[in-house]
Amino acid sequence: MKIPSRIALASALGLLLACAAEPPNPFLVQTDAGPVQGFAPEGSDDIAAFLGIPFAQPPEAELRWRSPQPVPSWAEPVQANDYRPICPQGRAQLPQSEDCLYLNVWTPIDRTGDEPVPVMVWIHGGGFRAGNGRLGDAPETGRGAGLARRGVMVVSIQYRLGALGFFAHPALAAEAAASGEPEGSHGVLDMIAALEWVRRNAAAFGGDPDRVTIFGVSAGGMAVNTLMSTPASAGLFHRAIAQSGYGTWRLPHLSEARWGLPSARDQGAALIAEAGLEFGNEPSTDDLRSVPFEKLNALGTGFWVPITGDVLPDEPGIVFARGEQHDVPYITGGNSFEGTIFRAFTMTPGDYFATFGKREGRARALYGADGETDADAERIAAATLFGDQRYVISARYLAEQMKTVSSPARTYYFQFVPEAQRETFPGAPHGSEVSYVFADPGDPDSERYPGADGAALADAMAGYWTRFAATGDPNGDGAPEWPEYDAESDTWMVLDAPKAEATAGLLKDRLDLLEAVYLERVGGK
């Protein structure tokens, strides 16, 4: 065997030392499937962004209505510098494809310290039939970078929507029974697959896989409550924030008629029959998979929702009351005029009040629609009641049921409306808190939260959210104290300007009425 000369050994040692001294490239990260090449967002010298990372195979053709499958590995770096197509949905202007199971990452560049950063996984809203994982209109910018500047790794995900993500049918039921696959809520399975990706890969991006917070708004908030309630997500996250997440709303059961709703399978069969597709009323699984997604987008009107009975054992309110939710710190809340969502439903204000039956008079009195009321006032009253029944009572009820586990809950009520919008909205519209949560410390005067009061509130909210992600407690940095929730004190953090303030007994009479209506429906479960 030839022995290397001293010169050769010295040269090799010098090369090794040079390589060791070279700092790692923060924009080139090795995932468990292969390398990804990121970039610096516009105006950011402290953040690396990675857009369009696949976390599952395209759920199309034979993989439609099946559990998400692992992606094949790759050798050359994937150029993660642009958003990928959004999941199929209605009339969206962005490119759509069933090949849509991608996620995006924004993370601090300095990943040389000993302490990995907390991870915050954003789940978008849109009634489970719309929305996407983009945090900004252009790939060069994005709210994810702003939040990451506060010392967290931000991940936004996409999941199957509408009939592709929340659909059941007798033909698919037979196939699932034969294969042993979960049935019905494939959009939720996509979320779980994304969280599994985070657990495997967060450390490579500087994130802490043992400090993962899920947070989302509207359907995304409901997704948080769903993930809190399904055993399939156990161990994948460690804190949860449900922003306007409904958890006490009726959900269809996979195979049973409940709460006045037909089973999800019967609903699916009816939707296919009504669509007048050429294969008739008893399609095979091949028939269903042959339908272009554009036609599936048109099925049904209004929102889609998770299906109970398989992926989700029961409605979140029922799961929480049984103490079967995941035992992690939990924040939940709603806005002061969630009723902007009321216009998405065809019910008139009078018809909606009538659904309260013997409690209609009480509901009208509490919401200012009794006696002589003009049409505009009745509409605003009904919309406010609707928003409270869909979102705010869910927050209070689920927070109260966290007494069944050891982790604390906290509730918030967002009511800030910029001065220019106060003649348009009687309170903070549904979803309006999101921009404040994603406040960018490098852009305190952003028009997303206008005025000095709005900028201060945005800074406070983003601080609460990121401290919670770091420690499980939103308090600190001199912010007003946010107490844990308990039914006796009924204390909420009211998020408003010029400052946030803890307030006891918020909307107590209204929410007591709505809780009584809910408990009557579920039999006190």
How far apart are the C-alpha atoms of 443 and 449, rounded to whole Å? 10
- Closest listed residue to residue 129, CA positions, set 299, 340, 338: 299
Is residue 338 annotated as part of the catalytic site, yes or no?
yes
Q: Quick check: helix, strand or coil at residue 66?
A: coil
State both tokens at 143: 């709210």
How far apart are the C-alpha atoms of 242 and 223, rounded to whole Å? 8
Continuous segment of H or E residues that includes residue 45: none
Q: Which of 183, 338, 400, 433 is catalytic?
A: 338
Q: Quick check: helix, strand or coil at residue 315?
A: coil
C-alpha distances in angstroms, 335 versus 70, 95, 173, 388, 484? 38, 32, 39, 9, 19
Q: Give the rounded distance of the alpha carbon of 293 from its chain centre.
A: 23
Q: Which of 218, 229, 255, 432 is catalytic?
A: 218
**Which residue is it, tokens 């908030």?**
221
State both tokens at 55: 């976390």
Environment class of residue 447 by beta-carbon count within 10 Å: exposed (0-12), middle (13-18) or buried (19+)? exposed
Check: CB of residue 255 under 8 Å from CB of residue 266: no
> DSSP code of 520?
H
Is residue 430 annotated as part of the catalytic site, yes or no?
yes
How do beta strands 35-37 and 28-30 pair?
A: antiparallel
State both tokens at 98: 């069933």
State both tokens at 157: 């995900």
**Which residue is it, tokens 């007494």?**
403
Environment class of residue 37 by beta-carbon count within 10 Å: exposed (0-12), middle (13-18) or buried (19+)? middle
Q: Which amino acid is at 447?
A: E
Check: CB of residue 416 under 8 Å from CB of residue 495: yes
**Strand arrangement of the beta sheet that strand 35-37 belongs to:** 28-30, 35-37, 78-79
State both tokens at 400: 């109260």
Is residue 435 annotated as part of the catalytic site, yes or no?
no
Q: Which of 169, 253, 326, 430 is catalytic?
A: 430
Give the catalytic positions in this structure.
Answer: 218, 338, 430
